[in-house]
Structure formats: C-alpha cells, structure tokens
Amino acid sequence: MTTLRDIALIAGVSGATVSNVLRNRGFVGAETSARVREVAQRLGYRPNPMAQALANGRAPTIAMVFSDLANPFYSMFALEAERAARRRDHFLLVCHAAKPDGTLDTAYLGAVAGRLSGGVLILGSDLGRADLLSAVPNGVPTVLAMWEDAADHPSLPCVTLDFREAGRLAADHLLALGHRRIAVLAGARGDRVSHGARLEGATARLREAGVLGGATLEEDSIGGGHRAAMRLLEAEPRPTAILATNDLLGIGAIQAAGERGLAVPRELSVVGITDIWLAAEMRPALTTVDIDTRRIADASVNALLDLIAEPDALARDALRIVGRPSLVRRASTAQAP
Amino acid sequence: MTTLRDIALIAGVSGATVSNVLRNRGFVGAETSARVREVAQRLGYRPNPMAQALANGRAPTIAMVFSDLANPFYSMFALEAERAARRRDHFLLVCHAAKPDGTLDTAYLGAVAGRLSGGVLILGSDLGRADLLSAVPNGVPTVLAMWEDAADHPSLPCVTLDFREAGRLAADHLLALGHRRIAVLAGARGDRVSHGARLEGATARLREAGVLGGATLEEDSIGGGHRAAMRLLEAEPRPTAILATNDLLGIGAIQAAGERGLAVPRELSVVGITDIWLAAEMRPALTTVDIDTRRIADASVNALLDLIAEPDALARDALRIVGRPSLVRRASTAQAP
DNA sequence: CTGTTAGCGCCTTCAG
DNA sequence: CTGAAGGCGCTAACAG
C-alpha cells in the first residue's frame, strides 16, 4: 500500500508538501507540485480515508438505518440516498438495525454512530419513538426521515412530507370519481397503526364528504392487503373503492379483487400512496399518490451532512417538509359504478 | 467524545491497560480490571472503529457493489449480506457503482477499496468482465458473487450457483407438464444476454426433448417481460408455456397473458428463475426456481472476510458453487392444455 | 514556498 | 501484571 510518505521520499519533499499538493491547497511551487503529482500518479497513490478521517475528525460515511431493505420503498430510498451521499463525497453504510422484536439494536448503532459514520439517518416510518431517542448515542448528528406524523415528531431533526395531505389527495380522488362506499386499508404493525397521518388525512376528508371512514388495519405488505381486501369485499353492500395507505396494500387489494372476480377499475377502484416503482409495473397499474421519494432522500442526506458539518445548523427538533404529494392517475381507478 | 485515554486517566492506569481490559486480553488484575470497566461503563466509552482500523490495519467494513439496488433481487441480497457481515462484526457499505453508461465507476471504487472497506463484494450479474478486472485496484480482496456463467468466470474468487442447472430445472418442469410449445424469454442488456447460462441450460434441455428453443431477449424487468410476452403470444400456434430466465420477466409475462385474455396457468404456464419475494406475492403466484439467495449472500460475505483475513486463502480464480437450485411449484404452471 | 512538529484514537511490542 | 514508547496514514499549525 503506497502511502503519503512513500511518495514524499521519492519526490524528495516532505509529507506535508505532498498533502498540500494533492489537496490543491495552493501553497506549493509549480515544479514540486508537478513532480509530486507525477510520482503519486505513477505509484497509484490513493489516500487512506480512515487515516484522513482520524486526522481531521470527519468520517467519510453516513449510516442509514432502516427496518427492511427488501421493502421496495426502502430500497428506492437507499438508492437515492446513496447517490445523494456520493455527490457530497460520502459513502453510505446500510444498517438493518431492527432486532427480531422490532426494536432498534442499540449496541450495533452505538458502534457506528458518530465514529465510523459521521452521522445517522433513520428511516422512521415504523420504529417506536421511545426506542428512537435512545438508540443513537447522545451528541451524534442524527436525522429522522419519513416520519409519519410531522405534527408530532420525536425531538430529532426531521425530514419528511405531509402524509396527511397524501391521504387527503387519495380520498379526494375517489370522491371526485363519485365513490361513496370507500373502504380504507391502513398499514399496521401488530395493532399499532404505522400510517396514522395518511389515515387521518384520508378519513377526515371522507367524513367531510359524509362518507363513513372506518379503517381496516393490516400488516403493510402485498399479502396483508390481499387478506384485508378479501374480507372487505365480502361486505354487503360491497365498497366500490379501496383507499390503501400504502402501495403494497393497494396491490394486494387489486389481487384480491381479481380473485373475487371483480374488475378493476370498473367494479372496484383502488388507490395507494407512495408510488413505489412496482405501482407502475402492476396490471392494472396502480393509481397512487407520489410522495417524491427522491427529493426526500436527497434532502435527508443533505440535512444530515449539513448537521455533521455544523452541529448547530439545525435545531434539535427542526422539521423540514419536502415536496408536495401529487396524484398519479393510472389504471386502477375509475368513475364509480 | 470519551477516549481510551480519558478512562485511563480517571481509572488511574495507562492506556495500554485499559485496552487490555476492554479486549479481554487477560493480562490484567481483577481489581484494576473491574475499576477500568466501571469507568468505561460510566463514561459510556465506545472504541473508535476508525482508530482501531488504522492501528491494526483492518477495516470493519466491506463494500458491496451492484448495479441497481432497487431491483428486488439485489435488495434481498443486500439484506442478507448485511446480516452475514454483521455476524462477523463488519458493516456493509453499499456502492451503486455503475455509471450511467453501465460501466463501473473506477475512481469511486478506488476510494473505498481496501481502505475504507477491507474488501469488495461485486454483484456481477450484469457487469462487463473487462470492466470488472480493472475496476478494483490490484491487491484488494475481491469476491465476485452471482456470476452467471461459472464455467467461464473472470479471474476473481467467485461465489455463485449452477445457473445452467436452474435453467434445466425450469425446462424440465414444463416438459414434465407436457408442454411442447415453449417460448423462452431471456434477460438482456442491450443486445448482450445477461442470463446466458440459464438460457443455455434451458434450451439445451428443450432441444434434447425435441422442442425448438429460440429465445426472445428483453430488458430484465416486469415491463420487459410484458413487452416480449405480448409479442410471443401473437404467434400461431401460440406457445402453451413461457420459460423466463428471471422472475421479473415471468411476472411481466403473466400480466401480458392477462391482457391477451389468456388464463394462467390453464391456457399458459409461466415459470421464472430466482424466487424473489415478489414471485410468491403475485397472483397467480409464480412458479420459479429457487436459487437460495440467502446462502449465496452468506457464502459470498464469508468468502470475502476470509480472504481479507488471509489474503492467500483463496486462489485468484477460486470458484465456489453454492446450493442447488430447486423448483418451487406455485400457481403459474399446470398441465399443458 | 517548504519542512518540522504535533497530534487524531488506538494497538502492540517491550521493559519494568 | 503494568506502563512507556512507537506507529498506523494523514492533516494542521507553525517555523523557516
């Protein structure tokens, strides 16, 4: 492994000079500069990020903590986060930090937080809040992304969106299509709703329109949506539309409709929220509310990196709402029958 | 940030002693030992991984390089890889290293490889081989996972499976069900087949059975499978089965069948390869060949960590075939009509 | 402009 | 059993 010192010796200068040249600090004469560069080039010198990190107290990575990388939403988010991090010369450490019981693995996080990684980005959509505050060691720059209820977020800098509005948009869409019997399907973990704000936004709007909005809770997955919808579609009179608080649930609902012999969207409309890539790939393609995952990922990473650079940049409970949910009309919704 | 020295001062011992205590080296008296632990505990001491890495020349992370994290297969793999890494006290750095043109970003990899991360795990299913060998700096422990053609892998330690066999199993299954008009759908990037071995395995078997096996190439995605299948299903006589070299393609094919008004599996059987989670969640659920992603992820990570620990442990072109593909019968295949 | 001198936080000899 | 000393590779003052 060729080090700074190696090239210093060969180029006949001191380590500091090499460092200055390579980091374009400018304090160096053209000739030495050229010579140093040449040697570095020839030896294939690559600075050691660990050493740099140690020396200037700044880690070149950030840690992203989530509960399920296999979930398409999280993987989309991770993808965008990695790009955003890279744009600012950082690497992304992925930490699947949920223990089997769903709580955060504190010991594990403690090992990375603030040292190996300069800060922690927590994808919070389904983590307990008590948990959250204790998981990351005190003083480590932390940003919470995608927290469901912006109005009531934990005392951490938080980058998220207006999930209530997303719920409203979904409801508005169905109402505008003339639906009155609308079943609401909300994601939950055990008996705790994970999509509270979307649910509230949706049901509030439905109620305003005089439509009753009870909600069915289910595990947030295609299978969960399927199970719940199978039940809902047995009701008499049958709902003409299903509003799912997440795309996976919506996709499951469409499948259930298929099995019950109901045509989507003719006999049943289904709308989701999030706009994961799968929504567009389904047949019929799922109408959904786009929440602009990419911008949120960007903003979260940037907020975290800013916070790392300047620990007082953000108030401890700063809140940033990014983007505006927007309806993406596809093939799963139509005029009420 | 509390350091080794801090606790040394408070406990009234030297840094070395603290280190010895905390790493259970045993050379230390019970009393001092207890005292040191107590102080460390009280101060919430956490060793700095960067410093450790620098001191003992061993990074606590490995880098995983892939071309598309949003692809469900890769995210499954990443999930398992992260777990495997963690079991051996390492963190996982995700590197989306493909540049827009599909080649690897050498500069980017160079920055991590062998320093920030102790080694590199390349998920190779659709990277060019020339590219591959030059992307990672010489001498950096590297393992190639999921390379398609085990018989012809680049000169890197390689952990993969028998994709040919996977192709054969898929073909056998359809043949056993009495299908004779079988269309093969293979993933490609541009005009280069990405699933060569599966394709060969499948077509060889089909030919043995006297069934003609031309293949249609398409981009490996649901949309690609859909497009290709729409074309295939126009043929006269229509195929009674579609063998897709990847699940996404298979899922797309099922959708296409639906649009063409063909019942799956009654009028058209579809089989995929890989068994991503989505395969089980589709309706009808996709029959596919399970390749045991988890074991491969485990084995890859372990191979890489072994290689890092002992750079000569593996021959430069060591090959490890992990697991045995197995058919997972679900609802998308049935007796030929 | 360039070199010297201290560290960053930790680990590992090696004396005592 | 314990402490002192040196080094991992790099950066940041500070002299010259």
Cβ contact, residue pair B96, A83, below 8 Å: yes
Protein CA B15 to sugar C1' C13 (Å): 14
B102 shares a domain with B178: no
Helix axes A15-22, A30-43, angle to 10 degrees: 90
In the predicted model, is pLDDT for residue B102 greater than 80? no
A171 shares a domain with A135: no
**In this predicted model, what pLDDT tens digit does every residue of B214-241 receive, in sequence order?**
899 999 999 999 999 999 999 989 999 9
Using a CB–CB cutoff of 8 Å, tell me whether A72 touches chain B: yes
Using a CB–CB cutoff of 8 Å, tell me whether A284 touches chain B: no
B75 shares a domain with B21: no
B175 shares a domain with B74: no
- Indicate yes or no: strand D within 7 A of the C-beta of A323: no
Average pLDDT on B322-331 reads 97
Q: What is the CATH number of the domain that holds A102?
A: 3.40.50.2300
Average pLDDT on B178-200 reads 94
CA dihedral A325, A326, A332, A335 (to 10 degrees): 120
B150 shares a domain with B246: no
A263 shares a domain with A303: no
Protein CA B308 to sugar C1' C12 (Å): 21
- Indicate yes or no: strand D within 7 A of the C-beta of A58: no
Protein CA B12 to sugar C1' C14 (Å): 21
Residue B118 contacts residue B95 (beta carbons within 8 Å)? no
CB-closest option in A59, A95, A221 to B50: A59
Supply A198's token pair: 């979307």
**In this predicted model, what pLDDT tens digit does every residue of A260-319 receive, in sequence order?**
999 999 999 999 999 999 999 999 999 999 999 999 999 999 999 999 998 888 888 899
Classify residue A139 as left (phi > 0), alpha (psi -120 to 50) or beta: left
Using a CB–CB cutoff of 8 Å, tell me whether B75 touches chain A: yes
In the predicted model, is pLDDT for residue A25 greater than 80? no
Where on strand D do bases come within 7 A of a protein Cβ? 1-13
Residues 6+ apart with CB under 8 A from A280: A286, A330
Q: Could you tell me how many residues make up chain A?
A: 337
A271 shares a domain with A193: yes
* Residues from chain A contacting residue B60 (CB–CB below 8 Å): 116
Residue that has been written with the tokens 């005292």 in this structure: B35
Total domain count for chain A?
Answer: 3
A209 shares a domain with A135: no
CB-closest option in A46, A54, A282 to B50: A54
Using a CB–CB cutoff of 8 Å, tell me whether B52 touches chain A: no
Domain assignment of residue A242, yes or no = yes
Domain that includes residue B27, residue range: 4-47
A266 shares a domain with A223: yes
Domain assignment of residue B335, yes or no = no
Average pLDDT on A199-212 reads 95
- Indicate yes or no: strand C within 7 A of the C-beta of B49: no
Alpha helix (H) residue ranges in chain B: 4-11, 15-22, 30-43, 49-56, 72-87, 106-112, 129-135, 163-176, 196-208, 222-232, 247-259, 277-281, 293-309
Query: Considering just the CA atoms, what is the radius of gyration of chain A in Å?
Result: 25
Average pLDDT on B148-153 reads 92
Q: What is the CATH number of the domain that holds B17?
A: 1.10.260.40
Residue B252 contacts residue B226 (beta carbons within 8 Å)? yes
A:B CB pairs within 8 Å: 128
Supply A149's token pair: 């209820």
Query: Considering just the CA atoms, what is the radius of gyration of chain B in Å?
Result: 25
B230 shares a domain with B201: yes
Q: For A21-30, A136-145, B143-152, B177-186, which range has the lowest pLDDT when averaged over its residues?
A: A21-30
Using a CB–CB cutoff of 8 Å, tell me whether B221 touches chain A: yes
CA distance B171 to B198: 10
